[in-house]
Structure 1
């Protein structure tokens, strides 16, 4: 599998992977900072995991092994903290195209 070329990932983000809900609200695993990514802060309509149509205000493209389940907190290069709505892992086994992870954020 071919990964994205490093020169395309110009931004750095921090991710606090979602660990689940407790009686006190959502919990997160320790934050990982300095993750190379390509960030586009644009408004798009996307579907949440429960099927609702929601508005995404940022899209993050990163390496295919990114640990960022839906519900994770992401700190964008601007300092804004957002939440992952859904995560798509793009792969094309056997083809010479790069694999990546795409995260749609609130």
Structure 2
């Protein structure tokens, strides 16, 4: 039984600066977490932002389960482009032979 997505499938490396909240001078982010194994798909999709708006996602990221990437986090993609996390979904299927993973939709 597969319990998590195999790291061999996560061919890209990304950096995440977790969103910590808004401060007096705008959004605050945590220290960069580099070299996170991921699978990045640079395709355009419509997704729903945390506030309910429909927005366009230009990159979708699959990582190992348990990723700390709240909406608003800065994400540096393998090509160097810096984007913002719109939403994160943790996929699990207890008892089924499918891998658990985290999926991040980015601007």
> What are structure 2's unaligned runs of at least 5 residues?
none
Q: What corresponds to 2:49 in structure 1?
A: 48
Moved over 3 A (4+): none
How far the C-alpha of 1:98 sits from its partner, in A, is 0.3
> What are structure 1's unaligned runs of at least 5 residues?
none
RMSD: 0.9
Size of the aligned set, in residue pairs, is 106
1:95 counterpart SS class: coil
How far the C-alpha of 1:6 sits from its partner, in A, is 1.2
Q: TM-score when scaled to structure 1?
A: 0.97
Q: What corresponds to 1:85 in structure 2?
A: 86
Q: TM-score when scaled to structure 2?
A: 0.96
How far the C-alpha of 1:23 sits from its partner, in A, is 1.3
